[in-house]
Structure 1
Amino acid sequence: MNEGPTVLLTGTSEGIGFETARLLANLGCTVIAHARTREESDESVARLVNSGVDARRLRPAVADFTDLRQVIDLAVDVAESYPRLDVLVNNAGTAGAHGRVLTKDGHEQTIQVNYLAPYLLTRLLEDALDRSEVSRVVNVSSSLHRGGRINWNDLNWKRRYNRGAAYAQSKLALTMMTTALTEFRPKVREAVSVHPGIIATGMLPGYSYRGRPVAEGAEPVARLADPGSKVLNSGYYDGRLPAKAATAAVDPEDVRKLWSLSERLTLFDKRRL
Structure 2
Amino acid sequence: MGTENATETAGLAGERSKDGLGWMEWIRGWMAVIGEMMFQRIAASHLQNPLPLPPVNELTFVVTGSTSGIGLQIARQLAEAGAHVIMAVRNPKAAHDLIQKWQNEWSGMILPLNVEVMELDLLSLESVVRFAEAYNARLGPLHVLINNAGIFSIGEPQKFSKDGYEQHMQVNHLAPALLSVLLLPSLIRGSPSRIVNVNSVMHYVGFVDPEDMNVISGRKKYTSLLGYCGSKLAQVMFSSVLHKRLPAEAGISVLCVSPGVVYTNVARDLPRILQVGYRFIPYFIFDAQEGSRSTLFAATDPQVPEYCETLKADDWPVGAFISQDCRPTNPSEEAHNVETSYKVWEKTMELIGLPSDAVERLIEGNEVTCRYSMTD
TM-score by length of 2: 0.67
Q: What are the superposed Cα offsets for residues 126-162 of structure 1, whole Å, 9 maximum, x if unpaired? A: 1111112222110100000010000334211224220
Q: 1:236 aligns with which of 312, 321, 329?
A: 321
1:70 and 1:55 map into 2 onto residues whose CA distance is 29
Q: 2:68 aligns with which of 6, 14, 17?
A: 14
187-196 vs 199-208, which moves further: 199-208
Give yes or no for the alignment of 1:260 onto 2:346. yes
Partner of 1:57: 114
216-225 vs 2-11, which moves further: 2-11
The answer on whether the counterparts of 2:68 and 2:265 sit within 8 Å (CA) in structure 1 is no
Change (3 A) 1:216 1:3: closer
Q: Which runs of 5+ in 1 are unaligned?
A: none
1:81 and 1:75 map into 2 onto residues whose CA distance is 10
The answer on whether the counterparts of 1:200 and 1:213 sit within 8 Å (CA) in structure 2 is yes
TM-superposed CA distance for 1:40, in Å, is 2.7
Q: 1:155 aligns with which of 213, 222, 225?
A: 213
1:78-97 aligned within 5 A: 78-81=135-138, 83-96=140-153
TM-score by length of 1: 0.92
Larger radius of gyration: 2
39-48 vs 255-264, which moves further: 39-48
Partner of 2:228: 167
Partner of 1:37: 91
Partner of 2:125: 68
TM-superposed CA distance for 1:3, in Å, is 6.2
Change (3 A) 1:46 1:250: farther
Q: What are the superposed Cα offsets for residues 59-93 of structure 1, whole Å, 9 maximum, x if unpaired? A: 10111111100000111111122511111000010
Give yes or no for the alignment of 1:180 onto 2:241. yes
- How many residues are aligned here? 271
Give yes or no for the alignment of 1:251 onto 2:350. no
Partner of 1:202: 265
Q: What are the superposed Cα offsets for residues 87-139 of structure 1, whole Å, 9 maximum, x if unpaired? A: 10000101136011111100011100000000000010111111122221101
**What amino acid sits opposite 1:237 in the alignment?**
I
**What amino acid sits opposite 2:212 in the alignment?**
D
Change (3 A) 1:106 1:4: same
Q: Which runs of 5+ in 2 are unaligned?
A: 1-55, 309-318, 356-368
**What amino acid sits opposite 2:352 in the alignment?**
T
Partner of 2:167: 109
Change (3 A) 1:196 1:183: same
Give yes or no for the alignment of 1:118 onto 2:176. yes
Question: Which aligned segments of 4 or more residues in structure 1 are displaced greater than 6 angstroms?
Answer: none
Identity of aligned residues (%): 29
TM-superposed CA distance for 1:41, in Å, is 2.6
**What amino acid sits opposite 1:259 in the alignment?**
W
1:82 and 1:21 map into 2 onto residues whose CA distance is 22
1:125 and 1:72 map into 2 onto residues whose CA distance is 9
1:32 and 1:173 map into 2 onto residues whose CA distance is 26
Partner of 2:364: none
Q: What are the superposed Cα offsets for residues 209-251 of structure 1, whole Å, 9 maximum, x if unpaired? A: 242211001122112112x532131311111111110123233
**What amino acid sits opposite 1:230 in the alignment?**
Q
40-49 vs 162-171, which moves further: 40-49
1:82 and 1:25 map into 2 onto residues whose CA distance is 22
The answer on whether the counterparts of 2:258 and 2:322 sit within 8 Å (CA) in structure 1 is yes
